[in-house]
Amino acid sequence: MQPSSSLFPTIRLKPKGDARKIRHGFPWVYANELVTDRRTKALAPGSVALLEDAERQPLALVAVNPESRIFARVLEPASAGLPEGGPDHAWFAARVSRALRLRETLFDAPFYRLVHAEADGLPGVIIDRFGDTAVVQPNAAWADARIEVLSAALVEVTGVTNVLKSASGRARGLEGLDDVSKVLAGTAPEAPVPVQMNGATYMADLTGGQKTGLFYDQRPNHAFAARLAKGARVLDVFSHVGGFGLACLAGGAESALAVDGSAPALELASAGAHAMGASARFQTRQGDAFAQLEALNAEGASFEVVICDPPAFAPSKQALEAGLRAYERVARLAAPLVAEGGYLGLCSCSHAADLGKFRAASIRGIGRAGRDAALIHTGYAGPDHPMHPQLAESGYLKALFFRL
d(CA 202, CA 192): 9
d(CA 185, CA 73): 27
pLDDT, one tens digit per residue, over 119-169 is 999 999 999 999 999 999 999 999 999 999 999 999 999 999 999 999 987
The residues carrying an active-site annotation are: 349
pLDDT at residue 45, as a whole number: 95
Helix and strand numbers, DSSP H then E, in the chain? 12, 19
pLDDT at residue 85, as a whole number: 80
Domain 89-185: give its CATH code. 3.30.750.80
Q: What is the fold, at CATH topology level, of the domain defined by 10-77?
A: 2.30.130
The CATH number of domain 193-403, selected from 1.10.600.10, 3.40.50.150, 2.30.110.10, 3.20.20.70: 3.40.50.150
What is the rounded end-to-end Cα distance, in angstroms, of the chain? 60
pLDDT, one tens digit per residue, over 296-342 is 999 999 999 999 999 999 988 899 999 999 999 999 999 999 999 99
- Does the pLDDT value for residue 17 go beyond 90? no
Check residues 170 and 41 and name the one with the higher pLDDT: 41
pLDDT band at 201 (very low <50, low <70, confident <90, very high): very high
- Does the pLDDT value for residue 170 go beyond 90? no
pLDDT, one tens digit per residue, over 376-386 is 999 999 999 99
SS3 content of the chain, % helix, strand, coil (to 5): 35, 25, 40
Kindly state the average pLDDT of the residues 67-78: 94
Range(s) for CATH 2.30.130.10 in the chain? 10-77
Q: Half-sphere exposure (CA, 13 Å, Cβ side) for 117? A: 21
Average pLDDT over the chain reads: 95
Range(s) for CATH 3.30.750.80 in the chain? 89-185
pLDDT, one tens digit per residue, over 246-282 is 999 999 999 999 999 999 999 999 999 999 999 999 9
pLDDT at residue 3, as a whole number: 46
For residues 201 and 193, the answer to whether their CB atoms sit within 8 Å is: no
pLDDT at residue 6, as a whole number: 61
Range(s) for CATH 3.40.50.150 in the chain? 193-403
- Does the pLDDT value for residue 1 go beyond 80? no
pLDDT, one tens digit per residue, over 353-367 is 999 999 999 999 999
